[in-house]
Structure formats: C-alpha cells, structure tokens
Amino acid sequence: MTEDGVHQDSRELLERLQELHLSAFTWSLHCCDGRRAEAEDVLQTVYLKLLTGSARFDGRSAFKTWVFAVIRSTSRDTRRSIGRRLRLLSTWLTSRTSAQEAAAPAIAYENELRESVGRLLSALSSRQREILQLVFYHDLTIEQAAQVLGISIGSARVHYERGKDNLRRRLTPFKERYDRARRGTNQAAV
C-alpha cells in the first residue's frame, strides 16, 4: 500500500474511533468496574493498539463490536497486570517490614549517632567544621577546600588536623557503644 493509502487508512480509523469514543469510554469504564483513571488508561492503550496495527480489524464482525472486544481484552490484561504488581508489592512490603523490625535497634542507634555527630560538628570552631565538611562530605582535597575558604593550605591543614583530633576525642564513647550495638545486631542475625 502506498504512503497515501496508509495515511488514508489512519484517517479513516481515527474518524471511526472519534464516532465511537463516548460509547467506547463508557464500555471501558464498565470493564474497569467504574474506575475512571483505569478506564482512561485502558482506552488509551486500546487506541495505541489500533493505531499501531498491533490489533487489526479483519471484518468478521461489526467495527464497534471488534473495538469493544479489544477494550474488554485490554482491561482484563490490565487488571491481571495490576494484580501481579500488587502481589509483588505486598510480598516486598512484608519482607521489608520484617527486615526493618530486625534492624530497628541498629537503625535507631545510627540515627542517634548521626544526630550526635551533628552536635559534635557544631561544637567545633567554624573553620574546623567548614574544612571537615568540605573534605569529608563534598569530597574536596584539603587544597581545594583551602581555595574555597580563601585560606592558605597550611592553615587549612592545621584546621583539618585539629578538627579531626577534636572529633576523634569526642567520638570515643560513641564508637564503643556503636561497636557493641553492631556486634549485638550481627549476633542476632546469625
């Protein structure tokens, strides 16, 4: 068929679908048990099938009957697909909830530790805090951090080392508690 013939067929199909649109949507709504959004999605999928040629009218029935059959079949496929997704989601949520319950003590402790580290960082001098944040959180080198802060590399190194020493000294009690909590979580998982 020539290109003009294909365009002509597409135009004719579009015109026929426009004539049927209201009744096709009503049928789609019925097939989707009144769920409007699902009915709209089904009808859009049907139109795509018809316009791309993945569903072809062979003339064995009336055009309207055939379109309604495609709508019914597509809505059934959509419902099955949604059912599969919901079952998978339910399984995933159940397993995730179980895993979260098992890890809850460790997660609570990590949250507490994160808040404590935030408080400890805020207790540092502003220069020490800024240099540590740039190096550890933003992956800059000490030289790059010095440029960002507008200070010499030597000064940046001093603030970096002092900041690390201050944090290390203040984190020692937390590290011991964290190690005990981790050992307890790993033993529970075994």
pLDDT at site 189 = 45
pLDDT, position 4: 47
Query: Helices 63-123 and 36-52 sit at what angle, rounded to 10 degrees?
Result: 120
pLDDT at 46: 95
pLDDT tens by residue, 122-142: 888 989 988 998 888 888 899
pLDDT, position 157: 96
Burial of 145 (0-12, 13-18, 19+ CB in 10 A): buried
The two tokens of residue 158 are 């001093």
Residue 44: predicted pLDDT: 95
**Dist. CA 181–CA 179, nearest whole Å:** 5
Domains of the chain as residue ranges with CATH: 3-88 (1.10.1740.10), 124-189 (1.10.10.10)
Residue with tokens 């207790």: 123
pLDDT at 2: 44
- On the CB side of 42, how many CA atoms lie within 13 Å of its CA? 32
pLDDT tens track for 111-122: 887 787 778 888
Instruction: Provide the CA 29 distance to its chain's centre, in angstroms.
Output: 29
SS (H, E, C) 108-164: HHHHHHHHHHHHHHHHCCHHHHHHHHHHHHCCCCHHHHHHHHCCCHHHHHHHHHHHH
Spans of the chain, pLDDT less than 70: 1-8, 97-100, 102-103, 184-190
